[in-house]
């Protein structure tokens, strides 16, 4: 147990420090690096999903005015790699439709585009396979699921529990394929100065990107600099480097002395920037008449790429969410000819709390028990998976607090009980959960400069508020006014920091900042000389071996379904979270409502449609891949408990970037069911799925 910092700056509702630069558009993102002698890149992609590039003719492309280089798999420099997603242009094999097979560098973007269109490609094709199904005979068991969880778990015997149970639910739920689609397309500006590479890259982690580039180009890490003060959204898709940053570096090497700019197009983001696998979730719940679970099981089938394995940990939250003596989880993968899936906001928990939380609603309905009460009856005393106590677990308080705020008490549980002006009105609930993650490595430096404290750490702000919140943490750790602290992040010139992923930023970087502040005070006292400096790093937290650490939440949804057309509107969303101490309520609320709105988007709109004939996502732009717009939301509110958890870290924070999207889609499905009596088990909930039952 650690002493929590006394919150003075922590907890204050401070405006973002980068706010003025963002509302004016003066904040410089990766493509906008202010550099001389810019050249522009355009990519050439395959139009077949599997096969081999037999020949490429680039003469016509090279003759376009202003073209400086055309790079193909036949001419590209050799990277220091054994293959996989980043081994771009290294051989002629085609692993998925949309794979990059060429690159043009030109003086203008127009010339690069024209030249890319003139590259002639001859491919041989091979049969491809992008169709996921639970019936495939080639499903396999991965060794681990992301990032290093056991693939399967089993306690007791769920089959026996199901056979003996008074009430059971056995249903299959599916989530769609999703694309992160941050508003800023993945982009890089790259420059070589001899054997020194500088990239301005839109990334959730400058240091991890540097490490990957240093390996690929066989450089000393100190010879690579990655700069990224602002990230135009990432949601996981900028967590690991994708091929664009490698291509930009290759392109820049081909035009010495010039800075090269490469931005993916929106369409290219559907094949080159990661995605969330579709999931098929077979759920089994066994319960007695009063709603105590005797068994809970989830069997997950999802896809990965033949080129690179990524196993989404969809079954993981079922392991710890509710008490049940008999429990089992499995993951099976189909390796397909698709681009590599990767992280998308709350990998595992987001899809993995869809099936279970709808199944709980189905069980509540079968038992005639209120769905909130059912969850409360299955609240575990300790983590059912590890047997460890929870460092804090306030799910029940979130459910009760939310019920009171939302007006749940008078709810008539019968579907179609409420109709207003031609709309059936329903309400639904679901639980949220997200683990408290801590990354292994981060260091902060604190220096006293001209009467103020400067915090340096190679961390990232994806809109999460890091510029502001790290200053709040440093201020309290140093015992000074937050106005006397400045923060420098987003550059590998600053000390090593972990990726902004797994909602781990505050826990990891914040702990490093606190340790740096303590080291600074130990070394320099309270009246430091100008230039006084100290470092601190995040350390292992022994409490993680003794406690299960999670944030929890409860989400409430009001859904309207039109009696005649089946149109679905969601006028009201409420989330109540127990996520430890909140550093900045303003930026925290934005993260919660942002996650919930993305969850609403998943529930009603998002669906990447893979065409089995051609192997690509046919709706690969923002006109066809629908996300929630301003007109889709009315009232979305997030609030939180004043939770004090002394075990997680010195700040008492649990991480809040992802939990908002966990459970939302289930709550929407449950509300739609309550409205109209139709249970949609396959996302998204669209009116075609309701019309037959109207």
Partner 1 sequence: MDAAISLTVDGEGYRLTVDTRTTLLDALRDRLGNISPKKGCDHGQCGACTVLLDGRRVLACLVLAATVGGAEVTTASGLAEGDTPHPVQRAFLDHDAFQCGYCTPGQVCSAVGMLDEVAAGWPSHATTDLTAEPRLSQAEISERMAGNLCRCAAYVNIVPAIEQAAGEVR
**Residues catalogued as catalytic:** 658
Q: Which residues, including other chains, have CB under 8 Å from residue 180's CB and lie 6 or more apart?
A: 234, 235, 236, 237, 273, 274, 275, 276, 344, 345
Q: Which alpha helices (H) appear in 66-187, and where do they start and end?
A: 109-118, 158-164
CB atoms within 10 A of CB 165: 20
Given 634, 644, 691, 693, the residue binding partner 1 (CB under 8 A): 634
Site string for partner 1, 251-290 (x = CB under 8 A): ------------x-xx------------------------
Q: Which is nearer to partner 1, 467 or 550 (CB)?
A: 467
| Smallest separation (angstroms) from partner 1 to the CB of 16 | 7
Given 2, 12, 28, 84, the residue binding partner 1 (CB under 8 A): 28
Q: Does 182 bind partner 1 (CB under 8 A)?
A: yes
Q: Does 15 bind partner 1 (CB under 8 A)?
A: yes
Q: Which is nearer to partner 1, 31 or 434 (CB)?
A: 31
| Both tokens assigned to 221 | 């890490």
Stretch that binds partner 1, among 575-583, 597-605, 662-670, 675-683 (CB under 8 A): 597-605
Q: Does 34 bind partner 1 (CB under 8 A)?
A: yes
Q: Does 628 bind partner 1 (CB under 8 A)?
A: yes
Cβ 600 vs Cβ 664: under 8 Å: yes
Given 242, 331, 581, 589, the residue binding partner 1 (CB under 8 A): 589
| Smallest separation (angstroms) from partner 1 to the CB of 183 | 4
Given 409, 527, 529, 631, the residue binding partner 1 (CB under 8 A): 631
Site string for partner 1, 427-466 (x = CB under 8 A): -----------------------------------xxxx-
Q: Does 636 bind partner 1 (CB under 8 A)?
A: yes
Q: State how beta strands 533-537 and 443-449 pair.
A: antiparallel
The DSSP line for 234-254 is: -TTTTTS--HHHHHHHHHHHH
| Smallest separation (angstroms) from partner 1 to the CB of 24 | 5
Q: Which is nearer to partner 1, 153 or 639 (CB)?
A: 639
Q: Does 230 bind partner 1 (CB under 8 A)?
A: yes
| Smallest separation (angstroms) from partner 1 to the CB of 248 | 16
Beta strands in 394-461 (DSSP E): 419-420, 423-435, 443-449, 452-456
Q: Is 531 exposed, middle or buried (0-12, 13-18, 19+ CB in 10 A)?
A: exposed
Q: Which is nearer to partner 1, 86 or 262 (CB)?
A: 262
| Smallest separation (angstroms) from partner 1 to the CB of 38 | 7
Distances (CA, A) of 301 to 313, 355, 457, 565, 685: 11, 12, 40, 33, 21
CA–CA separation, 518 and 522 (whole Å): 6
CA–CA separation, 426 and 424 (whole Å): 7
| Smallest separation (angstroms) from partner 1 to the CB of 253 | 22
Given 4, 40, 214, 574, the residue binding partner 1 (CB under 8 A): 40
Q: Which is nearer to partner 1, 23 or 126 (CB)?
A: 23
Given 191, 235, 448, 547, the residue binding partner 1 (CB under 8 A): 235
Given 622, 682, 687, 694, the residue binding partner 1 (CB under 8 A): 622
Q: Does 601 bind partner 1 (CB under 8 A)?
A: yes
Q: Which is nearer to partner 1, 173 or 235 (CB)?
A: 235
Q: Does 630 bind partner 1 (CB under 8 A)?
A: yes
Q: Does 405 bind partner 1 (CB under 8 A)?
A: no
Given 49, 214, 497, 627, the residue binding partner 1 (CB under 8 A): 627
Given 193, 195, 539, 621, the residue binding partner 1 (CB under 8 A): 621
| Smallest separation (angstroms) from partner 1 to the CB of 605 | 12
Among positions 64-93, residues that touch partner 1 (CB under 8 A) are: none
CA–CA separation, 385 and 657 (whole Å): 24
53 DSSP β-pair partners? 123
CA nearest neighbour of 249 among 234, 265, 238, 260: 260
Q: Which long-range contacts (CB under 8 A, 24 or more apart) does 676-682 make?
A: 676/415, 676/416, 676/424, 676/426, 676/561, 677/415, 677/416, 679/358, 679/362, 681/171, 681/172, 681/173, 681/174, 681/358, 682/173, 682/174
Q: Which is nearer to partner 1, 481 or 624 (CB)?
A: 624
φ, ψ (nearest 5 deg) of residue 624: -110, -35
Q: State how beta strands 167-175 and 423-435 pair.
A: unpaired
| Smallest separation (angstroms) from partner 1 to the CB of 419 | 21
| Both tokens assigned to 172 | 């299959």
CA–CA separation, 49 and 304 (whole Å): 15
Q: Does 25 bind partner 1 (CB under 8 A)?
A: yes
Q: Does 23 bind partner 1 (CB under 8 A)?
A: yes
Cβ 568 vs Cβ 559: under 8 Å: yes
Given 633, 639, 677, 694, the residue binding partner 1 (CB under 8 A): 633
335 DSSP β-pair partners? 304
CA–CA separation, 361 and 369 (whole Å): 9
CA–CA separation, 129 and 338 (whole Å): 8
Q: Does 586 bind partner 1 (CB under 8 A)?
A: yes
| Smallest separation (angstroms) from partner 1 to the CB of 135 | 35
Distances (CA, A) of 605 to 452, 585, 627, 671, 688: 48, 29, 6, 16, 13
| Smallest separation (angstroms) from partner 1 to the CB of 299 | 32
| Smallest separation (angstroms) from partner 1 to the CB of 470 | 16
Q: Which alpha helices (H) appear in 51-108, and where do they start and end?
A: 59-62
CA–CA separation, 406 and 396 (whole Å): 15
Q: Does 635 bind partner 1 (CB under 8 A)?
A: yes
Stretch that binds partner 1, among 16-24, 293-301, 536-544, 643-651 (CB under 8 A): 16-24
Q: Does 467 bind partner 1 (CB under 8 A)?
A: no
Q: Does 181 bind partner 1 (CB under 8 A)?
A: yes
| Both tokens assigned to 454 | 């400067």
Q: Does 623 bind partner 1 (CB under 8 A)?
A: yes
Q: How many residues bind partner 1 (CB under 8 A)?
A: 66
Interface ranges with partner 1 (CB under 8 A): 15-16, 18-29, 31-32, 34, 38, 40, 108-110, 181-185, 230-235, 263, 265-266, 462-465, 586-587, 589-591, 593-598, 601, 621-623, 627-637
């Amino acid at each position: 147990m650690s002493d929590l910092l006394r919150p003075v700056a922590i907890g204050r509702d401070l405006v973002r420090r980068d706010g003025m630069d963002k509302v004016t558009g003066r904040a410089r993102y990766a493509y906008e690096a202010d550099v001389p002698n810019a050249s522009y890149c355009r990519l050439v992609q395959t139009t077949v999903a599997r096969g081999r590039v037999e020949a490429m003719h680039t003469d016509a492309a090279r003759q376009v005015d202003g073209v400086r280089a055309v790079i193909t798999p036949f001419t590209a420099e050799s990277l220091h790699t054994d293959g996989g997603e980043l081994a771009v242009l290294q051989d002629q094999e085609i692993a998925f439709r949309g794979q990059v097979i060429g690159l043009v560098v030109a003086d203008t973007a127009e010339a690069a585009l024209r030249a890319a269109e003139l590259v002639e490609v001859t491919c041989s094709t091979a049969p491809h396979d992008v169709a996921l199904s639970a019936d495939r005979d080639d499903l396999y068991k991965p060794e681990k699921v992301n990032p290093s969880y056991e693939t399967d778990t089993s306690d007791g015997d769920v089959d026996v529990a199901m056979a003996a149970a008074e009430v059971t639910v056995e249903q299959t739920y599916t989530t769609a394929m999703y694309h992160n689609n941050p508003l800023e397309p993945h982009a890089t500006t790259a420059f070589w100065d001899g054997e020194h590479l500088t990239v301005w890259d839109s990334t959730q982690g400058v240091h991890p990107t540097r490490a990957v580039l240093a390996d690929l180009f066989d450089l000393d890490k100190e010879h690579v600099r990655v700069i990224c003060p602002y990230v135009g959204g990432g949601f996981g898709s900028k967590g690991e480097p994708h091929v664009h940053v490698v291509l930009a570096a290759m392109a820049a090497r081909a035009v010495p002395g010039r800075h090269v700019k490469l931005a993916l197009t929106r369409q290219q983001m559907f094949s080159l920037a990661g995605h969330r696998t579709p999931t098929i979730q077979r759920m089994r719940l066994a319960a007695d008449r009063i709603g105590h679970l005797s068994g809970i099981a989830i069997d997950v089938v999802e896809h990965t790429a033949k080129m690179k394995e990524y196993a989404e940990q969809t079954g993981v939250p079922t392991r710890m969410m509710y008490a049940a003596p008999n429990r089992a989880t499995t993951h099976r993968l189909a390796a397909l000819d698709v681009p590599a899936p990767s992280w998308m906001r709350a990998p595992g928990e987001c899809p993995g709390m869809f099936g279970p939380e709808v199944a709980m609603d189905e069980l509540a309905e079968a038992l005639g028990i209120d769905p909130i009460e059912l969850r409360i009856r299955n609240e575990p005393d300790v983590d059912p998976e590890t047997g460890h106590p929870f460092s804090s677990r306030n799910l029940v308080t979130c459910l009760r607090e939310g019920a009171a705020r939302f007006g749940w008490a008078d709810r008539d549980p019968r579907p179609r009980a409420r109709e207003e002006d031609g709309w059936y009105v329903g309400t639904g609930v679901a639980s949220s959960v997200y683990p408290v993650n801590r990354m292994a490595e981060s260091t902060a430096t604190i220096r006293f400069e001209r009467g103020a404290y400067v915090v340096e750490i190679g961390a990232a702000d994806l809109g999460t508020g890091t510029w502001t919140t790290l200053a709040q943490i440093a201020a309290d750790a140093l015992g000074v006014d937050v106005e006397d602290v400045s923060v420098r992040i987003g550059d590998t010139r600053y000390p090593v920091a972990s990726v902004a992923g797994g909602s781990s930023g505050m826990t990891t970087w914040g702990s490093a900042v606190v340790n740096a502040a303590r080291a600074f005070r130990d070394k320099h006292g309270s009246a430091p000389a100008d230039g006084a400096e100290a470092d601190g790093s995040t350390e292992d937290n022994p409490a993680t071996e003794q406690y299960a650490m999670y944030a929890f939440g409860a989400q409430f949804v009001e859904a309207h379904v039109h009696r005649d057309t089946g149109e679905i509107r969601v006028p009201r969303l409420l989330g109540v979270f127990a996520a430890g101490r909140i550093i900045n309520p303003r930026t925290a609320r934005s993260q919660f409502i942002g996650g919930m709105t993305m969850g609403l988007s998943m529930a009603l709109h998002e669906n990447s449609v893979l065409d089995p004939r051609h192997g690509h996502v046919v709706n690969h732009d923002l006109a066809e891949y629908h996300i929630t717009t301003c007109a889709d939301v009315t009232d979305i509110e997030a609030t939180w408990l004043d939770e004090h958890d002394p075990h997680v870290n010195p700040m008492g924070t649990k991480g809040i970037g992802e939990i908002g999207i966990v459970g939302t889609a289930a709550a929407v499905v449950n509300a739609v069911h309550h409205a109209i009596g139709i249970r949609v088990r396959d996302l998204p909930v669209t009116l075609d799925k309701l019309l037959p039952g109207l």
